[in-house]
Structure 1
Amino acid sequence: MKKASLSLLLILLVFSSCSKQVDLLVHNAIVYTANKDFDKATAFVVKNGRFLEVGGEELVEKYKPVSVVDARGLPVYPGFIDSHCHLLELGLNQFKANLRGTKSIEEIVDRLKKHQATSGQNFIQGIGWDHNDWEIAELPDNQKLNEAFPDNPVLIERVDGHVLLANKKALDMAAVDETKKIEGGQIIKKKGRLSGILIDNARHLLDPIIPKFNREQQIQALITAQNICFENGLTTVDQAGISKDEILLIDSLQNKDLIKLRVYAMIENKKESLDFFFDKGGIKNNYLNVNAVKVYVDGALGSRGAALKENYSDAPNHNALPIISKDSLNSIAQLVLDNSFQMNTHAIGDAANQMVLDTYNVVLSAIEDPRWRIEHAQVIAKEDISKFNPKIIPSVQPSHAVSDMEWAKQRLGDERIKGAYAYKDLLDWSGVLALGTDFPVENVSPINTFYAAVTRESIMGASQEGFQMKNALSRYETLMGMTHWAAYANFEDKEKGSIEAGKFADFVFLDRDIMTIDIEELPLTRVVATILNGKIVFSNRL
């Protein structure tokens, strides 16, 4: 592999007076435009933050650029889009104990003690544990937490964000006892005693006692998260479920040029936030797009919170009900439609997906181009897959397939697993896919997404062969799902998602061509530079 460090040293050139003045010329590149014909080019010019013309080396003589980049054969792609993520949470996690990779509750306790010692926090929070990685893959109880932290409230969140483990101190502060019940959630007991495990809506019983992050911490978190995104070649992120105040904070930071990352924000399904943006008519400018509502129908498969048509194969007496009724879902869908907003619904289990598909197809029957989305679309029964159509876009996360493949079959059994993580089947019915990561649940890297979609293998090399390879995506389909189709799913395909004249000059240089290199080389791919509006926002010169 040629070692090209794109010392994107910008060389000032002087051309004849007859040349057209532009801000930037990039040439001698392998340019994947990701336009509708998937054309390739070698050069393009940028003016006022947008692509002016895309073509070949003839552009070198045609234009008078302020700056020029000789890419020296490096590949260039449209700026990557993460179609489902949690930007603010990514940044806020720096204030919590990192519990990823722990193998037992004892190891969790050890990390929490170290975190408390360095942070000085009295209210202890942790994120990222996954009991499926433990020798005994069972949800823990809070006994060890109670012993280690009798006087400090402790809340630790499972990697999927759908399960909390709370110690006794935290439960007492929130007045959660054995008699407490909640619709759309589970309060797990062991031998009649609270275990500390709270699933889905039950998690919100602890909300009143959780210290709020102040404005300065939130600003720091957003800037940190933005920098991580730029380092990974992301120029747009789809923030899944966010409050009115958090959206307005992002807007204010973008107006001050502190946040340059483009954000497509899905409004949380809460009355205050919905009323505000329905009355306002959303927000749409070059950096912020607020015209979608995020709705939850069920929980996560890993914590057995996904709503299935039949009981779990590894828990024959257990199933999870949807966290919202069908009538409520219909009402929300009609409200969203009446206000001319987009609806993006979280659905993991086959029962949840059936409910969303049936609702969408009725509500959207007379709407020509709604682009309503199903976030995750993880388990689809064979009788429901044909309910997908161009009006309904699956927004999926290929990294979930490879993260879950070691235990998903246990949850679903031999037959249901065939309809799980079925990305190629979904693409065939809907015509497009929007690809994301769900970070910080998964790694931020679009390269991980690309590798998982194409190989159906873990980038860590844990698997021996691809998981259900008939639903692997081609490299073309994967790149489109991270660029053009992702923009289409946001109603932003006229302004981004491909390298075409008139669109934002958002693009990324990689150190090798992910469309042609050997599959084994994909995990080695590095971002050389990320460009937004024709300006460098990240450069790796090493």
Structure 2
Amino acid sequence: MKKLFYNGKVYVNRDEFQEAIYTEDEFIKEVGKSEDLLEKYSDSAIEKIDCNGKTVIPGLNDSHLHFMQFGESRNQVDIEGVKSIEEMIERCKIFMKKNPKRCEKGIHAIGWNQDLFVEDKRIPNRFDLDKISTEIPIVLERVCGHIVSSNTKVIEILGLTKDSPQYPDGEFLIGEDGYPSGVYTANACNFAKDVIPDFTLEERREMLIETMDYAISCGLTSVQSNDVGTTFMNGPVAFALLKDIYKENKKIRYRHQVCFNDFSEFEKYLTVGEFKSEDYKDNYLKLGPLKLFKDGSLGARTALMRKGYNDDKENYGLPWIKDEEMRKYVNLASENNLQVITHTIGDKAIEDTVKCYEESFKNGKNNLRHTLVHCQITDRELVERIAKDDICVMAQPIFLDYDMKIVEDRCGRDLASTSYAFKSLKDLGAHVAYGTDAPVENLNPFPNIYMAVTRKDKLGKPEGGFYPKECVDVYEAIDAYTVESAYVEFEEDIKGRIKKDFLADFVVLDRDIFTIDPMEIKEIKPLMTIVGGKIVYKR
């Protein structure tokens, strides 16, 4: 399989462009001038593709998302962006009428955000969701996934009363009437969600393939996805399903980020489980790091904060994993040369995780590229410590579309000014890779790049950008989505650049991302997505 892509504006490096890419099988073999490569590879057996002068960038690589959960969200009630609890209730009722068979055993969806409610900015409770149905269980997740609301039916199925013991590393809240309110936090969310019958394996297969198709249409050629242990609680079944799909559907590269329900399960994984598998030998499906959760979310006020919340002084957030338990996981992972990535949003969560990582370093170096996922609330000292330790960051600039509206209230202006410090981290030498955390945000990378470059919301506010000293330029944003995302998966030597002997993963864009008004970046659409030298999407 030999192809020559010519007549393009091919991004090679900062301020360095070429015109043509020659590929053989899965790899790039030469990059150069169109005239030279057309003459050199004139053989009629070589397929030639005219890029029509369009800009070509390396394939985009989402460093952290939940691919399966994103697929689920596209097959559930759409409650994202609702402006009131009443609107959410109505959407669910309409969905039930249109999809009665799908709703026979319950409704589960994700996407509400109380901060977007126009008037009553409170967390929905059982009384609200009972208006949808009292006959079937209803579970609706906040957009962050760290708070869940249910109807009374779920409480009854779980057998909860005010005297029931709390779940480990999570709570079900008690209402003013002395009865569980239908609101769950942290790990307790999983118990509520488990009440809703799972999708069948065949349904999951279809959703994964549909999500692959959507992802490549957005210009993604690689994803690093936390599905096992979150969306897929049964690890062995999940691993088997992905391997089976990848026997025939090699249109996007996938790297597992794996969670565990308890430490013994992790030990089993390392000794006799998937970690010992010989099935991950090609460049499409890979095993990746251990994934931990240290805290919750800023919007739900469950992120761990050193000094508590500026707008809720007695609230310091919720730990998802205690320090001692976290050390056990990180130490065992390090002993087995396994990378660890940890969900950290509040400054206390980040500080505690950095300390835990430091204790696990060999010879004081982060050779396993342990990583902070999100890494949002920081002061300057913490930013410098992360960079000095060479701890990687998987960042989601797109979170600022919402978070810029609440972070000063939650954290105070001083701390907000040094948070989401992705430019500072990069300038200090840290490796910062971009992703979307879909379905928290859509996996489309271009609004994310727009946000990193402008620090403005989707409407272009505020003028000048939100703490604009943390804006990156277009080159830095693309590199964070390509070569830096490759770095956090130890593949920077074969992925993330358009150069000889690298994987032939690249995207042809409908407009020039390097010269257009930055406000237009979020509107960019891929014309062609190429993975391993194959055109997997064409508009």
TM-score exceeds 0.5: yes
Q: SS of the residue aligned with 2:490?
A: coil
Q: Supply the distance in 2 between the matched residues of 1:53 and 1:264 (Cα, whole angstroms).
A: 27
Contact 2:391-2:430 within 8 A present in 1 as well: no
Contact 2:290-2:333 within 8 A present in 1 as well: yes
2:269 aligned partner, one-letter code: F
Pairwise CA distance, 1:247: 2.7
Cα 1:298–1:350 change in 2 (3 A) is same
Contact 1:236-1:261 within 8 A present in 2 as well: yes
- Paired residues, what number? 516
Q: SS of the residue aligned with 1:209?
A: coil
Match of 1:281 among 276, 300, 304: 276
Which residue of structure 2 lines up, in the alignment, with residue 386 of structure 1? 384
Q: Supply the distance in 2 between the matched residues of 1:259 and 1:165 (Cα, whole angstroms).
A: 38
Cα 1:507–1:415 change in 2 (3 A) is same
Cα 1:262–1:277 change in 2 (3 A) is farther
Q: SS of the residue aligned with 2:412?
A: helix
Which residue of structure 1 lines up, in the alignment, with residue 153 of structure 2? 169
Unaligned segments of structure 1, at least 5 residues? 1-21
TM-score by length of 1: 0.91
Which residue of structure 1 lines up, in the alignment, with residue 238 of structure 2? 246
Aligned: 1:369 with 2:367:
yes
Which residues of 2 match residues 386-425 of structure 1 at below 5 A? 386-389=384-387, 391-425=390-424
Cα 1:452–1:208 change in 2 (3 A) is closer
Pairwise CA distance, 1:384: 1.9
Pairwise CA distance, 1:497: 0.9
Cα deviation code 1:407-456 (max 9, x no counterpart): 12111112221232111122233432100111111122111111000001
Aligned: 1:79 with 2:63:
no
Cα 1:188–1:38 change in 2 (3 A) is farther
Q: SS of the residue aligned with 1:149?
A: coil
Which residues of 2 match residues 482-521 of structure 1 at below 5 A? 482-521=481-520
Aligned: 1:55 with 2:55:
no
Pairwise CA distance, 1:200: 0.8
Q: Supply the distance in 1 between the matched residues of 2:385 and 2:350 (Cα, whole angstroms).
A: 10
Q: Supply the distance in 2 between the matched residues of 1:259 and 1:179 (Cα, whole angstroms).
A: 51
Which residues of 2 match residues 469-484 of structure 1 at below 5 A? 469-484=468-483
Contact 1:298-1:348 within 8 A present in 2 as well: yes
Contact 2:391-2:431 within 8 A present in 1 as well: no
Q: Supply the distance in 1 between the matched residues of 2:46 and 2:266 (Cα, whole angstroms).
A: 45
1:263 aligned partner, one-letter code: Y
Pairwise CA distance, 1:162: 1.1
Deviates more, 1:450-459 or 1:461-470: 461-470
Q: Supply the distance in 1 between the matched residues of 2:270 and 2:285 (Cα, whole angstroms).
A: 13
Which residue of structure 2 lines up, in the alignment, with residue 23 of structure 1? 2
2:276 aligned partner, one-letter code: G
Q: SS of the residue aligned with 1:242?
A: coil
1:252 aligned partner, one-letter code: D
Match of 2:305 among 297, 303, 308: 308
Aligned: 1:103 with 2:100:
no
Q: Supply the distance in 1 between the matched residues of 2:214 and 2:132 (Cα, whole angstroms).
A: 34
Match of 2:107 among 124, 127, 149: 124
Cα deviation code 1:186-217 (max 9, x no counterpart): 32233233221111111122244220111111
Which residue of structure 1 lines up, in the alignment, with residue 201 of structure 2? 215
Which portions of structure 1, spanning 4 or more consecutive aligned residues, are displaced by more than 6 angstroms? Answer: none
Which residue of structure 2 lines up, in the alignment, with residue 263 of structure 1? 254
Cα 1:331–1:286 change in 2 (3 A) is same
Q: Supply the distance in 1 between the matched residues of 2:430 and 2:10 (Cα, whole angstroms).
A: 24
Cα 1:407–1:251 change in 2 (3 A) is same
Which residues of 2 match residues 136-147 of structure 1 at below 5 A? 136-147=120-131
Cα deviation code 1:157-194 (max 9, x no counterpart): 11111111011101110122222313322322332332
Match of 2:325 among 303, 325, 328: 328
Cα 1:410–1:505 change in 2 (3 A) is same
Q: Supply the distance in 1 between the matched residues of 2:429 and 2:93 (Cα, whole angstroms).
A: 49
| Identity across the alignment (%) | 30
Q: Supply the distance in 1 between the matched residues of 2:93 and 2:445 (Cα, whole angstroms).
A: 33
Cα deviation code 1:445-479 (max 9, x no counterpart): 11111100000112244544411111111111101
Which residue of structure 1 lines up, in the alignment, with residue 116 of structure 2? 133
Unaligned segments of structure 2, at least 5 residues? 230-234
RMSD: 1.8
Q: SS of the residue aligned with 1:529?
A: strand
Cα deviation code 1:108-158 (max 9, x no counterpart): 111111111112112112221111101232222221222441211110011
Q: Supply the distance in 2 between the matched residues of 1:207 and 1:126 (Cα, whole angstroms).
A: 10
Contact 1:44-1:53 within 8 A present in 2 as well: yes
Which residue of structure 2 lines up, in the alignment, with residue 9 of structure 1? none
Contact 1:264-1:290 within 8 A present in 2 as well: yes
1:373 aligned partner, one-letter code: T
Q: Supply the distance in 1 between the matched residues of 2:158 and 2:366 (Cα, whole angstroms).
A: 47
Cα 1:209–1:321 change in 2 (3 A) is closer
Cα 1:190–1:381 change in 2 (3 A) is farther
TM-score by length of 2: 0.92
